[in-house]
Amino acid sequence: MPYLAGNCELPNLIMPEPTLFLNAKLGPVSIIRPTSTAQGGAVASVVSFADDGLFLDPATNKNTGIVDVLMRLAEEADEARRRF
């Protein structure tokens, strides 16, 4: 896959180059790193998905319990700091 051989070291690629992630069987994916947790962090993503109805239970038309679990994980992710 020659298109995977590009320069993925740039910190702010607008259209990130595809890469293999976790397992080659999953195929190429683009990984987007938000520069702001307020606009694009884990919590903002979970809120957006929930607002879009991604986790609605068709029987109750309400969000499933997974939203609470995802929100707790997202809050921890947004608070995490990389240690060198």
Please report, in angstroms and rounded to a whole number, the separation of the first and last CA atoms in the chain. 32
Domain map of the chain by residue range?
1-33, 35-84
For 34-72, the pLDDT digits (tens) are: 667 777 788 998 999 899 998 999 899 988 889 999 999
* More reliable by pLDDT, 6 or 71: 71
SS3 readout for the chain = CHHHHCCCCCCCCCCCCCEECCCHHHCEECCCCCCCHHHHCHHHHHHHHHHCCCCEECCCCEECCHHHHHHHHHHHHHHCCCCC
Identify the pLDDT of residue 19: 76
